[in-house]
Amino acid sequence: MSIHELMFYLFSGMILLFSVLTVTSRRILRAAVYLLFVLVSTAGIYFMLNYQFLAAVQLTLYAGGIVVLIIFSILLTSHISQKFEPLGVKKMVFSALAVAAGALLSIMTILDFGFDTVVTTSQNPDMELIGTSLLSYEKNGYVLPFEVISVLLLAAMVASIVIAKKEKSK
């Protein structure tokens, strides 16, 4: 078993385990922490695939930003000690059935399909390439989505301020 395989199985296992825990844990803060583990393991997968920049973004933005945001909002809206009610059996069974069917269907389809994989030296895109690609308007340039994303972020920022701010007392 090579180091790659080992890493893959480790990270996959962590992802699946903590994903399940995230959606089943009855304590909300723990769920958030499990989510953090999932995200970190995903970053590990990215490292393994040799995309260091993406992995770094995943760590800082997801693990560092979003999870912290979620935890803050949990603290704002819930009691830490609060435990969720156990799920209704009917709801759980039906959801699980649907999800299992879907997963089965997808996995069978994936395994049936022969991918035309290209085995190459897995080089790491360096920072310069990423940076010029993002700001390039040539072929394989991404300046338009980059700008769109920047506008979207601004809009989201304004929107969240407007939505969450306290209504003025009349």
Partner 1 sequence: MLSEIPLSYFLVVSTLMFFIGIYGFLTRKNLITILMAVELILNSVNINFVAFNRYLFPDQLEGHFFSLFIIAVAAAEAAVAIAIIISVYRRYSNIDVERVDTMKF
Partner 2 sequence: MIDFSFTILIPLIPFILFLLLGLTSGKMKPVLSGYIGTLGLSVVTVLSYFTAYQYFFNREAGAGVFEKIIPFHTVWIHLTEKLHVDLGILLDPISVMMMVVITTVSLMVHIYSMGYMKGDKGFSRFYSFLSLFSFSMLGLVVAPNIFQMYIFWELVGVSSYLLISYYYEKPSAVSAGKKAFIVTRFADLGFLVGILTLSYISGTFDFVTLTDPQGALITQGTSLTFMGISALTWALTLIFMGGAGKSAMFPLHIWLPDAMEGPTPVSALIHAATMVVAGVYLVARLFPLYFFVAPDALTIVAYVGGFTSLFAAVIACTQTDIKRVLAFSTMSQIGYMMLALGVSGYGGEHGLGYMASMFHLFTHAMFKALLFLGAGAIIHAVHTNNMNEMGGLRKYLPITHITFLIACLTISGIPPFSGFFSKDEILVAAFESNRFLFFVEYAVAGITAFYMFRLYFNVFWGKSTHYHHTPHESPFTMTIPLMVLALASMFTGFIPFSDLVTSNGEAFTLHTNWLVAIPSVLIGMAGIALAWVFYKKETAIPDQLATTLSSPYKWSFNKFYIDEVYLFVTKKIIFDRVSEPIAWFDRHVVDASMNRIAWVTNLASDQIKGLQSGQLQKYGFIFISGVIILTFTFVYFLFN
Judged by CB under 8 A, the chain residues 110 through 139 that form the site for partner 1 are 110-111, 113, 115-120, 122-123, 125, 129-130, 133-134
Q: Which of 23, 127, 135, 143 binds partner 1 (CB under 8 A)?
A: 23
Q: Is 83 helix (H, G, I), strand (E, B) or coil?
A: strand
For partner 1, give the closer residue by CB, 138 or 161. Answer: 161
Smallest distance from the beta carbon of 130 to partner 2, in angstroms?
Answer: 35
Does residue number 46 form part of the binding site for partner 1 (CB under 8 A)? yes
Our finding on whether 92 is near partner 1 (CB under 8 A) is yes
**Is 68 near partner 2 (CB under 8 A)?**
no
Tokens of 170: 């009349």
Please give the Cα distance from 130 to 51 (Å, whole number).
Answer: 11
Residue 129 interacting with partner 2 (CB under 8 A): no
Interface positions, 71-90, toward partner 1 (CB under 8 A): 73-74, 76-78, 84-85, 87
Q: Which of residues 101-120 bind partner 2 (CB under 8 A)?
A: 101-102, 105, 109
Interhelix angle 28-48/3-24, rounded to 10 degrees, is 160
The residues in 74-103 that bind partner 2, with binding defined as CB under 8 A, are 94-95, 98-99, 101-102
Q: Looking at beta carbons only, is 5 or 138 nearer to partner 1?
A: 5
- 3-state DSSP call for residue 39? helix
Residue 122 touches which of partner 2, partner 1, none (Cβ within 5-8 Å per kind) = partner 1
* Exposure string for 113-141, b = 16+ CB within 10 A, e = fewer: eeeeeeeeeeeeeeeeeeeeeeeeeeeee
Helix (H) or strand (E) holding 41: helix 28-48
Please report whether residue 10 would count as binding partner 1 according to CB under 8 A. Answer: no
In sequence order, which ranges of 113-142 are alpha helices (DSSP H)?
127-134
CA angle 134/137/142 to nearest 5° reads 35
